[in-house]
Amino acid sequence: MPVISRFLGIVISMFWNDHAPPHFHARYGEYEITVNIDNGVVEGKFPQRALRHVLEWYGLHQEELRRNWELCRQSQLPTPIEPLE
């Protein structure tokens, strides 16, 4: 599972050739969520503050996430995305 970004203890990744719809995974300690790249719908549980950080980062990098989704669907290495500062 390629890691795309890390910030504030949050790890963002995508799986190779994962199922639709386009999404990414975020882990924070024992918590894990998936975020739909097209509409921002979140599945799973995350602490509220960490969730706000992930959604802020997602809003800044939607196009890069879409490109990385396509790369992962083709079993290619995704491009790292800058962390939230």
Q: Quick one: pLDDT at residue 2?
A: 92
Q: Quick one: pLDDT at residue 85?
A: 86
Average pLDDT, stretch 63-83?
95
Q: In whole angstroms, what is the distance from residue 7 CA to residue 17 CA?
A: 24
- Is it true that the peptide bond before 83 is cis, omega within 30 degrees of 0? no
State pLDDT tens for residues 1-58: 899 999 999 999 999 888 899 999 999 999 999 999 999 999 999 999 999 999 999 9
Q: Quick one: pLDDT at residue 32?
A: 98
Q: Quick one: pLDDT at residue 16?
A: 87
SS3 content of the chain, % helix, strand, coil (to 5): 30, 30, 40
